[in-house]
Amino acid sequence: MATDLGVARDAAPEHTVAPDPAALQRILDGKYAEVRDLVRRNLVEHADLLGEVDDLDREAYRDRVLEIVQQVASTGQTGFGFPEEHGGGGDIGASIAAFETLAFGDLSVLVKVGVQFGLFGGAVLQLGTQRHHAAYLPGIIDGTILGSFAMTESGHGSNVQALATTATYDVGTDEFVVETPHDAARKDYIGNAARHGELAVVFAQLHIGGESQGVHAFIVPIRVRDEAGELVPAPGVRIEDCGHKMGLQGVDNGRLWFDGVRIPRENLLDRFATVSPAGVYSSEIESPGRRFFTTIGTLVQGRVSVGGAGINAAKVAMVLAVRYAERRRQFEATGEQEELLLDYGQHQRRLLPLLASTYALHVAQEDLAAELHAVFSGEKTDERSRRALESHAAGLKAVGTWHATRTIQECREACGGAGYLSASRFAALKADTDVFTTFEGDNHVLLQLVAKGLLTDYAGDFQDADQFEMVKLVAGIALDEIVKRTRAHQLLDRVRDLLPSGAEDEDEAGLLDTDYQLAMLRYREEQVISSAARRLKRGVDSGMNPGAVFSQVQPHVIAAARAHMDRVVQEAFVARVAGLADGPEKRALGLLVDLNALRMIEADRAWFMESGRMSAARSKAVRREVDALCRRIRPIARPLVDAFGVPEEVLGAPDLLGPVVVAGEPAAAGDEPGHHTQGETAEHVAEQVAEPA
């Protein structure tokens, strides 16, 4: 029997009812609907920026972005995640919801907000103590103290432990001396550095008495005001503009060098470690490795925010492409009148699986934000919850930003030449989100972090271990223990139990059983994790260098992480839809649940067939079922994208969307009555989602 999500999967489309976009939006907006609506109103107020960008030079664009950031800060939109006693809202979940929704508009504004309030402000909040909070947070929250987050170096990006910038304690003056020892140690790609930032949270190797204590964070002034009141580089600080970028021209990315810059001892952000006036270093966390990972782990909010922003940028692309496909006609396929693009099976195949994925990722992102809120608000204090959050955030940031890149490109192509115009927003969406896949951690490196967490279940606690030590730890486990600790053999039986037998049309039977879909995804995940662990062990047992072993097995390790994230996202989607009240909205989302599951199984059909989990005939049946689901979702594609709540004012794209057709008025050319146009109301979209039989 199919798991009951309220979807009458066998009912005919002619006995269906359309979902209400407003009701779907309430489901998507969730508990932070008011926060999201505040951001939408602010986006509408500043929507003119989207039309001004091409006419502004770079410096004017940057200053306009700063002006908007400071204006929205005055509404409280950017302060939700900070403590109430310093002028914030005291709700981290609300801050994530606000940031994600901001991605509907100009993405330079989004990233500027992320740098100022998420990275710079977040570092002061999470790594500093009360004296830092009192001194800096009020100004950070209202946008009067502008700062940068200076972690990345030209020679060391994702490998933060190997940063080369130094901060050496001078016991004679009670100061730290910050130094860039060579050009590869310059801080690079630093937002707010090239033009506006006055302070920076600088990550550097702490040296005391000739001994390194590892990477710590310091507040360093990078600009001061001269006699005329103009901001100039602080003594010993050299600043260089990174220059023209692929996108995000409104963000002033720069490079920083430090030449003997002296800062007070109190400028060490000392939540996890302190230095006394006499130069005595102390920390409650004895292990240097654990201390480092604890420090970096507090900054996980950045990854959560970037992943959510990517998903929401993909929503904008989906709205544009689906609405265009519902008004643009091409070729006479079934009669004298040219067909709407979205009535073509291939166009449905291009867009609707991506729409299902966007919904699934939205739900998974909402769960992740709730997890972040629980950990950082103190609702969950155990170490396991924090580590699970870090792994979950890394994985969802990777899959969410890759989804954005793929979706925006596919939607641009689906809009033809009209999508290539700057006014259609795809140029900015593509250019501005492209970097999402590499900042806050390169996606492949992040998936290695996910895999490391998965392998922890085999090898115990190696949070402090690097990837090569991880190889040795996995190699120390007996092969039969690895097999025993995975559930692949149990899940194989589960998949077999769910397969239909003796039924008519047996190849198709059971494909829409949610239990079957999840069992297939879980089986693949467990099998790939087990396979990666066995490969790591065999490599070391054969005498290979652990580094060489990891290099060879790395693709399998990353594949394990991706399989894990596919399952996590789908389980979240299933659980959310199952908990909804019966009605057309639940039935519509149930169709997306099926489509998202089967498109993942279809995408990896070769693996399932190689593993003996799918016959060639059943593989073809999966493909046919995806086609059928696309046909069933096609009539409700418009309300599904309208439910994202992207304000009309920020969509622009007149050549894509055309004039709005109002019910009862003559339709525009190409929007003849009887077809699903953007002007239709719910009453005109008849029989969309199957009612329960």
Which tokens belong to 359? 């919904």
Rounded to 5 degrees, φ, ψ at 82 are -95, 160
- Which run of H or of E encompasses 411? helix 383-414
Q: Is 606 exposed, middle or buried (0-12, 13-18, 19+ CB in 10 A)?
A: exposed
Q: How many Å from the N-terminal Cα to the C-terminal Cα in the chain?
A: 15
- Within the chain, which residues score under 70 in pLDDT? 1-16, 333-335, 456-509, 659-693
d(CA 251, CA 187): 16
440 part of the active site:
yes
Is the Cα torsion angle 541, 542, 548, 554 positive or negative in sign? negative
Three-class DSSP category at 178: strand
The model's pTM is: 0.90
Catalytic residue (choose from 440, 508, 525, 571):
440
What ranges make up the beta strands (E) of 634-681?
Answer: none
Rounded to 5 degrees, φ, ψ at 632 are -75, -30
Tell me what pLDDT residue 482 has. Answer: 58
Which tokens belong to 275? 């230095």
Tell me what pLDDT residue 255 has. Answer: 98
CB-CB contact of 304 with 369 (8 Å)? yes
Instruction: Tell me the three-class secondary structure of 567-579, residue by residue.
Output: HHHHHHHHHHHHC
d(CA 409, CA 404): 8
Which tokens belong to 667? 């339709």
**Which residue matches tokens 């290099």?**
551
Q: Which of 105, 467, 500 is nearest to 309 (CA)?
A: 105
d(CA 425, CA 405): 14
What residues form DSSP beta bridges with 254?
Answer: 190, 241
HSE-CB at 213 with a 13 A cutoff on CA atoms is 24
Q: At what angle do helices 546-578 and 584-603 cross, to 10 degrees?
A: 160
- Which run of H or of E encompasses 450? helix 443-459
What residues form DSSP beta bridges with 690?
Answer: 16
Angle, CA 408 vertex, CA 621 and CA 28 arms, to 5°: 80
Is the Cα torsion angle 465, 468, 470, 473 positive or negative in sign? negative
CA 242 to chain centroid: 25
Tell me what pLDDT residue 329 has. Answer: 81
d(CA 311, CA 399): 9
Three-class DSSP category at 268: strand
Eight-class DSSP state of 667: P
Tell me what pLDDT residue 274 has. Answer: 97
**Which residue matches tokens 């700063």?**
66
Eight-class DSSP state of 279: -
Angle, CA 435 vertex, CA 596 and CA 68 arms, to 5°: 105
**For 35, left (φ over 0), alpha (ψ -120 to 50), or beta?**
alpha
- Which run of H or of E encompasses 205? strand 199-208
CB-CB contact of 643 with 28 (8 Å)? yes
Tell me what pLDDT residue 674 has. Answer: 34
CB-CB contact of 678 with 656 (8 Å)? no
d(CA 572, CA 569): 5
Q: Is 599 exposed, middle or buried (0-12, 13-18, 19+ CB in 10 A)?
A: buried
- Which run of H or of E encompasses 516? helix 514-541
- Number of residues assigned to the chain: 693
CB-CB contact of 408 with 221 (8 Å)? no
